[in-house]
Structure 1
């Protein structure tokens, strides 16, 4: 039997365990072990954070014992190592996300698992490999799963556990937005709100590696100075408060770097409108989130006199529209940055499955900069 569940923090040990999922059914024996594995292919068992109705995650999510189906010829048996709690996970449980799995469902869209056993026809993976989900809705908040080979993609097992667990969503989102909407060259500028989010921190680091300036907008807070230092330490060119976007002093900033070609919006509302005001003529604003729950308002003058482009991006759709080879190529580039120490995981708090309610409550605070990561 594997070690009991425990929590993950910035000091992460490779023996920590997280959660990926597949469809499974509730086990009848309440005293089953966390994830028991026999030499044969009989049913196994694991712990999972499941929800049977949509609603407030801290109320509808329950820690349950679940049974796993026998290993099929094209299946993979995995033990989860770590799985973060993202805003999309919360929205999915609430029933407001674009992807809504059949109920009952296991929570979590992102995470890293280790292959324990492979079916007789599996060719791309072997025991000991690390894997992450290809698509949303897989259900990663569990200690183990039996999954189809095609639902997983391998990642190096010599990168930090937290980096692997948080690789599939935020860094991929940042990478694609910096690559696909404007032809950015060294010396160009990007402006973004929610700069302390997981996507925001990835944008800072990837842009810095490419020689691109970042103007990073965050809300005012008591610890603004410390947060500003931290973002600059990972490569931020400028860190400013939301209020500064509306003040004349912003003109001084643009004497040290060009106006941005690209604006990245994860907030919406007035914050997005302010980003638009500072774009170059012909620039693009890409919206990937809406933490303020306010609509994006585009001034007519921005469209007529500046010819700005207003776009949206959803990494799940990108993955569905592109080949596994293209996904693998992007992950290879990101993992190379990780190995070089250029791209690091965001600050996080390590949480065991038993403490999931407090972790969900923290994750539901829309502007928190502290990522909650479940470690199995």
Structure 2
């Protein structure tokens, strides 16, 4: 009942405020996501903390209602509703979580504060070393702030602070700083992606340890058309990691990256090759002996490293090759994307099949400039 009363109060506030607002709008995003992973022949998995294979299959609906005034300011309320297909239990939905944020937006500047969806960021430019595709779908909401500047030819720079966990008996205190930028010239471009993750203590845990994790990905590339659209780039994945309770020295594993992409008629061939060290040295966690002589296990796993599992290879090599097809329909309101990807980490060969259907709807319902009094 408390959640229902809160929702009704928010809706009443929106409706009341709309009497003096310049514009009242509604929008809704729908997404169905299927991601089947068959990684059984690879040896990187740690039992109990990661799975070699599995399927993510779910649908998400994100309705929103908002007020816009003076053409730059918006206040938005909504809900993020997810149903995991085949989930046991009788609940109506797997998850229902709030969305509420203030946004200031001009053609070049965007600033957001509150609980907002990650599609407001330049999310597609982050390597899968930062987040898997499934992680992006599951972790759809960001809690904090976003600041973004958009320039000519698609150039941009942005900063995000995402508070992912509150210090409590059920969660570590954790927050993530993200930053990304691209500068496009006629054919050449350069840019970076960066994350700093503060993985802190949990109340009443046997050991309230803290892990600092940084990953920076500078990149340079060239885009051109020669019957196909080509995108060729090279980059570096450089980490700096410190587990304060198990040694204060910094570990700095890195990988070099080379990427080749060609596309036409909606089809894209994307090849990524990585050479270097295991980027996730703390993935397996630690065993800790308490003052009472009890041995407890402190897990890290995907909570610390949400990127693709293959970056944990100890063979110094990882190759990802993908063939995809993407198409927009009905004035870009519907997007369908299918992809078949292969992964090779030097120990085995894995395949991945994905289907992503997205619908985006936006409708102004009231505008004070055009409303007849």
Using structure 2 for the length normalisation, give the TM-score: 0.28
Higher radius of gyration, 1 or 2: 2
Using structure 1 for the length normalisation, give the TM-score: 0.28
